[in-house]
Structure 1
């Protein structure tokens, strides 16, 4: 079974792919439009688009001769849910640490 979360996070690890996703969050765009927006070669963009498609972060449609790319919300949702789950854990740990340090400081000031 493929590690879809790993694929999503791996795809988003690249700054160019993040720029492509950010651009597509504004609305669909063809590869030609994306090349102009992210200022890389068409060949390089094609490789990035394949990685994003394989990770389930984007999909393409056909509109006559155009092949616009769109953001796939499910891929982003998977990453967001994972991050949110771990954020809650770490925020709880930091809150307990903060309370522990405050208690320790209070005990020291009582001396």
Structure 2
């Protein structure tokens, strides 16, 4: 079996792609130095499942773990996200230009509701009925 070294940027985006891992990072951002059990407590999954998520975050360099006795403490390391932000910033011009065009279109007053033509359905009378309402008598 051949193992390829995954690029750090790929590992960062892969780690950030999961909502559970993003939640773990957000909790570590709010309070630095949480134990694995503290991180796992509010999550609806087993401790081994949380540890697997922490392994992915650790492999991406987003979390550092230190063990003191039986307690493993996790800390956020946001440095790998900086490279991801630099990569995203290169492509920001594409969505910024599209959003600017959309804003200009919405702000354009050339087609206000009062200038719009009435719909054809509103100006066309309904077609006449072929028979009076009710049951048709049998012959």
For 2:33 and 2:89, locate their aligned partners in 1 and report how far apart those are by CA, in whole Å: 27
C-alpha separation in 1, matches of 2:93 and 2:34: 35
List runs of 5+ in structure 2 lacking aligned partners.
111-139
| Higher share in strand | 2
Residue 29 of structure 2: aligned partner: 25
Higher-helix-fraction structure: 1
* Distance in 2 (alpha carbons) for counterparts of 1:45 and 1:79: 24
Q: Which residue of 1 aligns with 2:48?
A: 43
TM-score (norm 2): 0.62
What residue number does 1:66 align with? Answer: 71
Structure of greater relative contact order (alpha carbons < 8 Å, 6+ residues apart): 1
Distance (whole Å) between structure 1 residues aligned to residue 12 and residue 65 of structure 2: 17
Larger radius of gyration: 2
Count matched residues. 105
Q: CA RMSD in A?
A: 2.6
After TM superposition, the runs of 4+ consecutive aligned structure 1 residues lying more than 4 A away are 92-95
Deviation of 1:84 after TM superposition, in Å, equals 2.0
Decide whether the 8 Å contact of 1:20 with 1:38 is kept in 2: no
Q: What is residue 11 of structure 2 aligned with on the other side? A: 7
Shift of 1:89: 4.3
